[in-house]
């Protein structure tokens, strides 16, 4: 905002707060609280915009205005966190101004640099959290200025910025810069979870040898884990390679499907199936395949050039995320593996005959939509597609199937039960799907729209 707008901003705040009507505004200036909320939600934050925030009283805003106010406040929160990171980085730099002691390394930092303790006391944080804040601030200032700039503009959250520094900590500075540059333009459209998954994939792509070496090192550290919980319960499991975890999960799900309900939920049956497979299956027990159970399915999506060894780009393990090329080839060439070809669009990475006039999709259509969407297509929902409902974007016309809402891949999408019920029964929520880009766009009752991009198999 310029100087004239600054004065108008302050005067308009008084108008909003006190209900006066003697303020002269420019023709395009926001006037009502809702207009101010919408304006601030779309404007880069700074001192002048922050001065108007107190005017966004919840009781003076409509439901639409309250959503915009939340967005505006979140942008300003990110801006403030960027300023805080600058101060933390300056404190950290000042502490090291005279240079670290001879033989210093990261493991001895806490014994020499007491900035962490001071920050912990000042901000009422644990020592661990304060140390993490300082590390993130130092990395944003020294290695990731573009990410810090997005944070200051309110385009990304602090958790996203922290994820960049955390995920790239294993990389050389040059490679880390490449990963940041590759994702920078996408970060404003992502949630924190999506950011972490995109970083994991890009790191494997940028540093395949390092990713494989780190995987092998972690693989040597595999172990059983057991933690006591309240009320006579315990957490039991293992730290093991992702492809083995996926195979075990698939085996448990397959076995759970054979157990009678007997009043048990699906999760209870899965736990009982795990116990049955581990404890009750003796050396003389028949193998699952000879006992009438279906074979467990582990889905790995791997580009052909990776499969044949021409490149070492990452593959995707369903239910986990990016894995190294060597892991993918190990699964692909394991005994009993069945290959299914998926053809994807070379530009978008989206998965590219069905009977369109029947309500229930054919097995081919169902497989296609589940593979294409990968997850529930409500933004930020990560329910796996195979556990979702297949829903008609345009409702199926049971009276006249030819009239519209046909059962085709373009008119079907995967929705978890909660979001399926919301779309079907909650007034105001609508869904559209662009068949060209694969993007699903949700419109909320407040009129705000939220886009969900298709799963990218690249």
Average pLDDT over residues 263-287: 80
| Contact partners, residue 238, CB within 8 Å, separation at least 6 | 222, 223, 224, 225, 245
Indicate if the pLDDT at residue 11 is higher than 50: no
Cα distances from 458 to residues 59, 71, 132, 314, in angstroms, run 47, 31, 33, 9
Domain coordinates of the chain in residue numbers? Answer: 363-452
Predicted pLDDT at 7: 36
pTM above 0.75, yes or no: no
Helix (H, G, I), strand (E, B) or coil at 374: coil
Task: Please tell me the distance from the alpha carbon of residue 110 to that of residue 92, in angstroms, as a whole number.
Answer: 12
What distance lies between CA 417 and its chain's CA centroid? 20
Tell me which H or E stretch contains 427: none
State the chain's mean pLDDT as an integer.
Answer: 83
**Rounded distance, CA 390 to CA 408, Å?**
11
Residues 6+ apart with CB under 8 A from 243: 298, 300, 317, 323, 327, 330, 331
State yes or no: pLDDT of 280 exceeds 90. Answer: no
434-451: average pLDDT: 90
The percent of residues in the chain predicted with pLDDT above 70, rounded, is: 83
The whole-number average pLDDT for the span 316-343 is 79
Contact (Cβ atoms closer than 8 angstroms) between residue 315 and residue 308: no
In the prediction, which pLDDT does 336 show?
Answer: 73
Reported as a pLDDT band with limits 50, 70 and 90, residue 296 is low
Determine phi and psi for 290, rounding to 5 degrees: -90, -5
pLDDT at 63 over 90: yes
Beta bridge partners of 239: 223
Q: Is the pLDDT of residue 17 over 60?
A: no
- C-alpha torsion 308→204→207→221, nearest 10: -100
- Measure the CA–CA gap between 400 and 396, rounded to whole angstroms: 9
Average pLDDT over residues 45-51: 94
Q: Which two tokens stand for residue 110?
A: 């806490």
Using N-to-C axis directions, what is the helix angle for 145-152 and 173-183, rounded to 10°?
Answer: 40
Q: Would you say residue 6 has pLDDT above 70?
A: no
What does the pLDDT look like over 337-394, one tens digit per residue?
Answer: 777 666 676 677 776 644 555 556 777 788 889 888 989 999 888 888 988 999 999 8
For residue 218, pLDDT beyond 50: yes
Query: Closest by alpha carbon to 211, among 312, 123, 97, 104?
Result: 312
Residue 283 pLDDT: 42
Give the residue-averaged pLDDT of 281-298.
50
Strand order in the sheet with 321-323: 300-301, 315-317, 321-323
**Mean pLDDT within 89-115:** 67
DSSP type of residue 344: B
User: Higher-confidence residue: 405 or 354?
Assistant: 405
Nearest-5° Cα angle at 346, 341 to 347 = 145
List phi, psi (to 5°) of 124. Answer: 60, 50
Q: Give the model's pLDDT for residue 293.
A: 39
Over residues 67-97, the pLDDT tens digits come to 999 999 999 999 999 999 999 999 988 876 6
- DSSP state letter for 278: I
Please report which confidence band the pLDDT of residue 290 belongs to, taking 50, 70 and 90 as the band edges. very low
């Amino acid at each position: 905002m310029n100087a004239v707008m600054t004065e108008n901003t302050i005067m308009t705040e008084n108008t909003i707060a006190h209900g006066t009507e003697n303020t002269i505004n420019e023709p395009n200036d926001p006037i009502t609280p809702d207009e101010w909320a919408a304006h601030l939600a779309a404007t880069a934050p700074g001192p002048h915009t922050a001065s108007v925030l107190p005017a966004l009283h919840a009781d003076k805003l409509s439901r639409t205005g309250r959503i915009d106010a939340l967005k505006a406040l979140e942008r300003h929160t990110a801006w403030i966190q960027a300023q805080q990171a600058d101060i933390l980085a300056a404190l950290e730099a000042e502490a090291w101004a005279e240079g670290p002691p001879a033989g210093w390394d990261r493991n001895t930092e806490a014994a020499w640099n007491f900035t962490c303790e001071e920050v912990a006391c000042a901000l009422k944080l644990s020592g661990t959290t304060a140390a993490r804040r300082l590390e993130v601030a130092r990395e944003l200032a020294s290695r990731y200025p573009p990410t810090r700039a997005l944070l200051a503009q309110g385009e990304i959250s602090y958790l996203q910025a922290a994820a960049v520094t955390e995920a790239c900590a294993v990389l050389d500075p040059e490679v880390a810069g490449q990963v940041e540059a590759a994702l920078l333009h996408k970060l404003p459209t992502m949630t924190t979870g999506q950011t972490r998954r995109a970083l994991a994939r890009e790191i494997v792509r940028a540093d395949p040898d390092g990713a494989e070496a780190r995987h092998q090192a972690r693989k040597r550290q595999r172990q059983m884990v057991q933690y006591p919980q309240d009320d006579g319960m315990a957490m039991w499991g293992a730290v093991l390679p992702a492809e083995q975890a996926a195979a075990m999960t698939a085996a448990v799900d397959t076995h759970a499907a054979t157990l009678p309900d007997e009043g048990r939920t699906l999760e209870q049956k899965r736990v009982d199936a795990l116990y049955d497979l581990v404890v009750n299956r003796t050396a003389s027990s028949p193998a699952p395949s000879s006992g009438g159970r279906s074979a467990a399915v582990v889905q790995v999506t791997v580009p052909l050039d990776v499969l044949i060894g021409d490149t070492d780009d990452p593959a995707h393990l369903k239910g986990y995320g990016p894995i190294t090329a060597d892991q993918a080839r190990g699964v692909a060439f394991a005994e009993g593996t069945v290959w299914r070809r998926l053809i994807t669009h070379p530009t978008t990475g989206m998965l590219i005959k069905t009977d369109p006039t029947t309500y229930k999709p054919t097995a081919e259509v169902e497989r296609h939509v589940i593979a294409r969407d990968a997850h529930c297509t409500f933004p930020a929902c990560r329910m796996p597609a195979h556990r979702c409902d297949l829903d008609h974007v345009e409702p199926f016309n049971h009276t006249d199937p030819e009239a519209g809402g046909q059962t085709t891949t373009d008119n079907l999408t995967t929705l978890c039960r909660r979001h399926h019920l919301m779309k079907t029964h909650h007034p105001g929520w609508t869904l559209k799907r662009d068949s060209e880009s694969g993007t699903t766009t949700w419109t909320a009752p407040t009129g705000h729209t939220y886009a969900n991009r298709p799963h990218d198999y690249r």
